[in-house]
Amino acid sequence: MRNLIQCTVLVMVFLLIFVPLYGCYADDDHHKKNHGYQEGFHKDGDHNDDHDHETYLKAVTNQTYKETCGACHFAYQPGLLPSGSWIRILNSLEDHFGEALDIDAESKKTISKYLTDNAAEHSGAERAVKIMKSLRGQTPSRITEIPYIRHKHRDIPPEVFSRKAVGSLSNCSACHRTADQGIYEDDNVVIPK
Ligand code: HEC
Ligand code: HEC
Protein backbone atom coordinates (compact mmCIF):
# COMPACT_ATOMS: atom_id res chain seq x y z
CA MET A 1 0.00 0.00 0.00
CA ARG A 2 2.77 2.40 0.93
CA ASN A 3 4.49 1.64 -2.34
CA LEU A 4 1.35 2.47 -4.25
CA ILE A 5 1.05 5.85 -2.50
CA GLN A 6 4.73 6.62 -3.11
CA CYS A 7 4.34 5.72 -6.73
CA THR A 8 1.23 7.90 -7.15
CA VAL A 9 3.02 10.84 -5.54
CA LEU A 10 5.98 10.38 -7.88
CA VAL A 11 3.76 10.33 -10.96
CA MET A 12 1.98 13.48 -9.80
CA VAL A 13 5.26 15.30 -9.19
CA PHE A 14 6.43 14.27 -12.65
CA LEU A 15 3.22 15.58 -14.26
CA LEU A 16 3.35 18.85 -12.32
CA ILE A 17 6.92 19.57 -13.38
CA PHE A 18 7.23 18.25 -16.89
CA VAL A 19 3.83 18.85 -18.46
CA PRO A 20 3.98 22.68 -18.07
CA LEU A 21 7.59 22.66 -19.29
CA TYR A 22 6.62 20.72 -22.38
CA GLY A 23 3.76 23.17 -22.98
CA CYS A 24 6.23 26.09 -23.09
CA TYR A 25 8.53 24.53 -25.63
CA ALA A 26 5.76 23.06 -27.78
CA ASP A 27 4.41 26.59 -28.32
CA ASP A 28 7.39 27.44 -30.50
CA ASP A 29 6.55 28.90 -33.92
CA HIS A 30 8.46 26.31 -35.93
CA HIS A 31 6.76 23.41 -34.23
CA LYS A 32 3.32 24.82 -34.94
CA LYS A 33 4.17 25.66 -38.53
CA ASN A 34 5.15 22.10 -39.30
CA HIS A 35 2.08 20.88 -37.55
CA GLY A 36 -0.02 23.09 -39.81
CA TYR A 37 1.52 21.69 -42.96
CA GLN A 38 1.22 18.05 -41.95
CA GLU A 39 -2.22 18.12 -40.41
CA GLY A 40 -3.76 20.66 -42.69
CA PHE A 41 -2.68 21.10 -46.20
CA HIS A 42 -1.85 17.65 -47.42
CA LYS A 43 -5.40 16.50 -46.91
CA ASP A 44 -7.69 16.17 -49.91
CA GLY A 45 -9.47 19.42 -49.21
CA ASP A 46 -12.95 18.06 -48.59
CA HIS A 47 -12.29 17.31 -44.94
CA ASN A 48 -14.28 19.44 -42.61
CA ASP A 49 -13.89 17.84 -39.21
CA ASP A 50 -13.32 19.60 -35.90
CA HIS A 51 -9.58 19.54 -36.31
CA ASP A 52 -9.75 21.64 -39.47
CA HIS A 53 -11.86 24.20 -37.67
CA GLU A 54 -9.10 24.51 -35.12
CA THR A 55 -6.32 24.79 -37.71
CA TYR A 56 -7.80 27.35 -40.09
CA LEU A 57 -9.71 30.57 -39.62
CA LYS A 58 -13.47 30.13 -39.91
CA ALA A 59 -14.76 31.20 -43.32
CA VAL A 60 -17.19 34.14 -43.33
CA THR A 61 -20.72 32.88 -42.62
CA ASN A 62 -22.68 36.07 -41.90
CA GLN A 63 -24.49 37.28 -45.02
CA THR A 64 -25.03 40.86 -43.78
CA TYR A 65 -21.33 41.21 -43.05
CA LYS A 66 -20.33 39.61 -46.34
CA GLU A 67 -22.58 41.86 -48.44
CA THR A 68 -21.95 45.11 -46.54
CA CYS A 69 -18.27 44.87 -45.73
CA GLY A 70 -17.28 42.80 -48.74
CA ALA A 71 -18.64 45.33 -51.23
CA CYS A 72 -15.37 47.22 -51.76
CA HIS A 73 -12.74 44.72 -50.69
CA PHE A 74 -12.24 41.13 -49.53
CA ALA A 75 -14.53 40.28 -46.60
CA TYR A 76 -11.81 39.72 -44.01
CA GLN A 77 -12.43 36.86 -41.56
CA PRO A 78 -13.32 38.18 -38.08
CA GLY A 79 -10.47 36.05 -36.67
CA LEU A 80 -7.90 38.31 -38.37
CA LEU A 81 -8.36 41.09 -35.79
CA PRO A 82 -9.19 41.31 -32.07
CA SER A 83 -12.63 42.65 -31.09
CA GLY A 84 -11.02 45.93 -29.94
CA SER A 85 -9.96 46.55 -33.54
CA TRP A 86 -13.37 45.71 -34.99
CA ILE A 87 -15.07 48.05 -32.51
CA ARG A 88 -12.58 50.79 -33.43
CA ILE A 89 -13.41 50.31 -37.13
CA LEU A 90 -17.19 50.25 -36.55
CA ASN A 91 -16.98 53.41 -34.42
CA SER A 92 -15.44 55.42 -37.25
CA LEU A 93 -17.56 54.52 -40.28
CA GLU A 94 -17.82 58.20 -41.24
CA ASP A 95 -14.11 58.09 -42.07
CA HIS A 96 -13.30 54.54 -43.11
CA PHE A 97 -9.82 54.90 -44.59
CA GLY A 98 -10.99 57.97 -46.47
CA GLU A 99 -14.45 56.59 -47.40
CA ALA A 100 -17.71 57.51 -45.67
CA LEU A 101 -19.72 54.32 -45.01
CA ASP A 102 -23.47 54.62 -44.59
CA ILE A 103 -24.70 51.47 -42.85
CA ASP A 104 -28.17 51.22 -41.26
CA ALA A 105 -28.34 50.70 -37.49
CA GLU A 106 -29.79 47.18 -37.73
CA SER A 107 -27.04 45.91 -40.07
CA LYS A 108 -24.38 47.61 -37.98
CA LYS A 109 -25.61 45.78 -34.89
CA THR A 110 -25.58 42.43 -36.70
CA ILE A 111 -22.09 43.06 -38.11
CA SER A 112 -20.75 44.22 -34.76
CA LYS A 113 -22.01 41.10 -32.98
CA TYR A 114 -20.68 38.79 -35.69
CA LEU A 115 -17.22 40.40 -35.76
CA THR A 116 -16.74 40.62 -31.99
CA ASP A 117 -18.15 37.13 -31.25
CA ASN A 118 -15.71 35.60 -33.76
CA ALA A 119 -12.74 37.94 -33.22
CA ALA A 120 -9.17 36.66 -32.97
CA GLU A 121 -9.16 36.32 -29.18
CA HIS A 122 -12.13 33.91 -29.39
CA SER A 123 -10.58 31.73 -32.10
CA GLY A 124 -8.40 28.67 -31.62
CA ALA A 125 -7.18 28.83 -35.24
CA GLU A 126 -3.42 28.81 -35.62
CA ARG A 127 -3.29 32.20 -37.42
CA ALA A 128 -5.58 33.91 -34.90
CA VAL A 129 -3.48 32.67 -32.00
CA LYS A 130 -0.32 34.01 -33.67
CA ILE A 131 -2.02 37.33 -34.43
CA MET A 132 -3.04 37.76 -30.77
CA LYS A 133 0.44 36.84 -29.60
CA SER A 134 2.13 39.34 -31.89
CA LEU A 135 -0.28 42.20 -31.05
CA ARG A 136 0.50 42.18 -27.31
CA GLY A 137 -2.69 44.03 -26.48
CA GLN A 138 -2.62 46.51 -29.38
CA THR A 139 -5.81 47.08 -31.42
CA PRO A 140 -4.74 48.36 -34.88
CA SER A 141 -7.40 49.31 -37.42
CA ARG A 142 -5.57 47.39 -40.13
CA ILE A 143 -4.74 43.69 -40.46
CA THR A 144 -1.73 44.80 -42.50
CA GLU A 145 -0.37 46.62 -39.41
CA ILE A 146 -0.19 43.45 -37.31
CA PRO A 147 3.52 42.65 -36.71
CA TYR A 148 3.00 38.95 -37.53
CA ILE A 149 1.31 39.79 -40.86
CA ARG A 150 3.98 42.37 -41.73
CA HIS A 151 6.72 39.92 -40.91
CA LYS A 152 5.23 37.19 -43.11
CA HIS A 153 5.21 39.56 -46.12
CA ARG A 154 8.51 41.36 -45.56
CA ASP A 155 10.22 39.69 -48.53
CA ILE A 156 7.67 40.66 -51.18
CA PRO A 157 9.29 43.29 -53.47
CA PRO A 158 7.43 46.66 -53.56
CA GLU A 159 6.92 46.49 -57.34
CA VAL A 160 4.51 43.55 -56.78
CA PHE A 161 2.02 45.94 -55.15
CA SER A 162 1.99 48.24 -58.14
CA ARG A 163 0.63 45.41 -60.30
CA LYS A 164 -2.99 46.01 -61.22
CA ALA A 165 -4.11 42.57 -60.02
CA VAL A 166 -2.59 43.17 -56.57
CA GLY A 167 -2.82 46.87 -55.63
CA SER A 168 -1.90 46.51 -51.96
CA LEU A 169 -1.20 44.06 -49.18
CA SER A 170 -4.81 44.57 -48.04
CA ASN A 171 -5.94 42.58 -51.09
CA CYS A 172 -5.43 39.15 -49.45
CA SER A 173 -7.39 37.15 -52.01
CA ALA A 174 -5.23 38.42 -54.89
CA CYS A 175 -2.39 36.13 -53.79
CA HIS A 176 -3.97 33.70 -51.31
CA ARG A 177 -6.13 31.55 -53.57
CA THR A 178 -7.88 29.97 -50.59
CA ALA A 179 -8.31 33.20 -48.58
CA ASP A 180 -12.11 33.06 -48.73
CA GLN A 181 -11.97 29.68 -46.97
CA GLY A 182 -9.81 31.18 -44.22
CA ILE A 183 -6.78 29.21 -45.42
CA TYR A 184 -3.55 31.24 -45.67
CA GLU A 185 -0.94 28.45 -45.88
CA ASP A 186 1.99 29.57 -48.02
CA ASP A 187 1.57 26.48 -50.25
CA ASN A 188 -1.60 28.09 -51.67
CA VAL A 189 -0.05 31.43 -52.58
CA VAL A 190 0.27 32.55 -56.19
CA ILE A 191 1.41 36.13 -56.74
CA PRO A 192 -0.31 37.45 -59.92
CA LYS A 193 1.98 38.61 -62.71
C1 HEC B 1 -17.11 51.99 -49.77
C2 HEC B 1 -16.11 50.95 -49.78
C3 HEC B 1 -15.85 50.18 -48.47
C4 HEC B 1 -16.76 49.48 -47.72
C5 HEC B 1 -18.24 49.28 -47.95
C6 HEC B 1 -15.99 48.91 -46.60
N7 HEC B 1 -14.68 49.24 -46.73
FE8 HEC B 1 -13.18 48.57 -45.51
N9 HEC B 1 -11.83 49.63 -46.62
C10 HEC B 1 -12.13 50.45 -47.70
C11 HEC B 1 -10.92 51.08 -48.16
C12 HEC B 1 -10.80 52.07 -49.32
C13 HEC B 1 -9.87 50.60 -47.33
C14 HEC B 1 -8.38 50.93 -47.44
C15 HEC B 1 -7.76 49.94 -48.41
C16 HEC B 1 -6.28 50.18 -48.67
O17 HEC B 1 -5.65 50.97 -47.99
O18 HEC B 1 -5.75 49.51 -49.59
C19 HEC B 1 -10.50 49.68 -46.39
C20 HEC B 1 -9.79 48.96 -45.43
C21 HEC B 1 -10.35 48.11 -44.50
C22 HEC B 1 -9.59 47.36 -43.52
C23 HEC B 1 -8.08 47.35 -43.36
C24 HEC B 1 -7.43 46.38 -44.33
C25 HEC B 1 -5.93 46.32 -44.09
O26 HEC B 1 -5.21 47.07 -44.77
O27 HEC B 1 -5.51 45.55 -43.23
C28 HEC B 1 -10.49 46.68 -42.75
C29 HEC B 1 -10.19 45.74 -41.61
C30 HEC B 1 -11.81 47.00 -43.26
N31 HEC B 1 -11.69 47.86 -44.34
C32 HEC B 1 -12.99 46.53 -42.73
C33 HEC B 1 -14.24 46.88 -43.22
C34 HEC B 1 -15.48 46.54 -42.54
C35 HEC B 1 -15.60 45.80 -41.23
C36 HEC B 1 -16.49 47.02 -43.34
C37 HEC B 1 -17.98 46.96 -43.06
C38 HEC B 1 -18.42 47.63 -41.87
C39 HEC B 1 -15.88 47.65 -44.50
N40 HEC B 1 -14.52 47.56 -44.37
C41 HEC B 1 -16.56 48.19 -45.55
C42 HEC B 1 -13.37 50.61 -48.28
C43 HEC B 1 -14.54 50.03 -47.83
C1 HEC C 1 1.13 40.19 -52.96
C2 HEC C 1 0.60 38.92 -52.53
C3 HEC C 1 0.04 38.79 -51.13
C4 HEC C 1 -0.98 39.51 -50.56
C5 HEC C 1 -1.78 40.64 -51.16
C6 HEC C 1 -1.16 38.95 -49.22
N7 HEC C 1 -0.28 37.94 -49.00
FE8 HEC C 1 -0.13 36.78 -47.33
N9 HEC C 1 1.50 35.86 -48.09
C10 HEC C 1 2.01 36.06 -49.37
C11 HEC C 1 3.21 35.24 -49.53
C12 HEC C 1 4.10 35.18 -50.79
C13 HEC C 1 3.37 34.52 -48.32
C14 HEC C 1 4.43 33.49 -47.98
C15 HEC C 1 5.58 34.08 -47.26
C16 HEC C 1 6.58 32.99 -46.94
O17 HEC C 1 7.03 32.29 -47.86
O18 HEC C 1 6.83 32.79 -45.75
C19 HEC C 1 2.27 34.95 -47.45
C20 HEC C 1 2.09 34.46 -46.16
C21 HEC C 1 0.99 34.75 -45.36
C22 HEC C 1 0.72 34.15 -44.08
C23 HEC C 1 1.58 33.09 -43.40
C24 HEC C 1 1.34 31.75 -44.08
C25 HEC C 1 2.27 30.67 -43.61
O26 HEC C 1 2.10 29.53 -44.13
O27 HEC C 1 3.11 30.91 -42.75
C28 HEC C 1 -0.46 34.65 -43.64
C29 HEC C 1 -1.19 34.30 -42.35
C30 HEC C 1 -0.92 35.61 -44.61
N31 HEC C 1 -0.01 35.64 -45.64
C32 HEC C 1 -2.07 36.35 -44.50
C33 HEC C 1 -2.42 37.37 -45.39
C34 HEC C 1 -3.55 38.26 -45.19
C35 HEC C 1 -4.52 38.19 -44.03
C36 HEC C 1 -3.54 39.13 -46.25
C37 HEC C 1 -4.47 40.31 -46.47
C38 HEC C 1 -4.60 41.27 -45.39
C39 HEC C 1 -2.43 38.77 -47.11
N40 HEC C 1 -1.76 37.70 -46.56
C41 HEC C 1 -2.10 39.41 -48.31
C42 HEC C 1 1.51 36.89 -50.33
C43 HEC C 1 0.47 37.81 -50.14
Q: How far apart are CA 146 and CA 132, in angstroms?
A: 9
- Asked if the structure places residue 59 within a domain, the reply is yes
- Residue 36, domain member (yes or no): no
Which atom from ligand 2 is nearest to the alpha carbon of 80? Answer: 35
Whether 154 is in a domain gets the answer: yes
Ligand showing the shortest atom-to-Cα distance for residue 70: 1
Q: How far is the CA of 11 from the centre of ligand 2 (A)?
A: 44
Check if 184 has its Cβ closer than 6 Å to any atom of ligand 2.
Answer: yes
| Number of the ligand 1 atom closest to the C-alpha atom of 144 | 27
In a domain, 90, yes or no: yes
Closest Cα to atom 2, ligand 1: which residue?
Answer: 72
C-alpha of residue 89 to centroid of ligand 1, in Å: 9
Query: Distances in Å between the alpha carbon of 149 and those of 128, 131, 145, 187?
Result: 11, 8, 7, 16
Judge whether 46 lies within some domain: no
Smallest Cα–Cα separation from 121: which of 147, 86, 89, 75?
86
Of the listed ligands, the closest to the CA of 55 is: 2
Q: Does ligand 2 have an atom closer than 6 angstroms to the CB of 127?
A: yes
Domain membership of residue 17 (yes or no) is: no
pLDDT tens, the chain, 193 aa long: 566 656 565 556 555 555 554 544 444 444 444 443 333 343 333 444 444 447 999 999 999 999 999 999 999 999 999 999 999 999 999 999 999 999 999 999 999 999 999 999 999 999 999 999 999 999 999 999 999 999 999 999 999 999 999 999 999 999 999 999 999 999 999 999 9
Q: Name the domain count of the chain.
A: 1
φ and ψ of 27, to 5 deg = -80, -5
Give the angle subtended at the CA of 54 by the CAs of 52 and 59, to the nearest 5°: 70
**Model pLDDT, residue 171:** 98
Look at residue 139 and tell me if it is in a domain: yes
Q: Is 65 in the pocket of ligand 1 (CB under 6 A)?
A: no
Whether 144 is in the pocket of ligand 1, judged by its Cβ within 6 Å, is yes
Question: Does any domain span residue 60?
Answer: yes
Question: How confident is the model at residue 54, as a pLDDT?
Answer: 72
Distance CA 162, CA 169 (A): 10
Å from CA of 3 to ligand 2 middle: 57
Full residue range of the structural domain in which residue 116 is found: 53-188
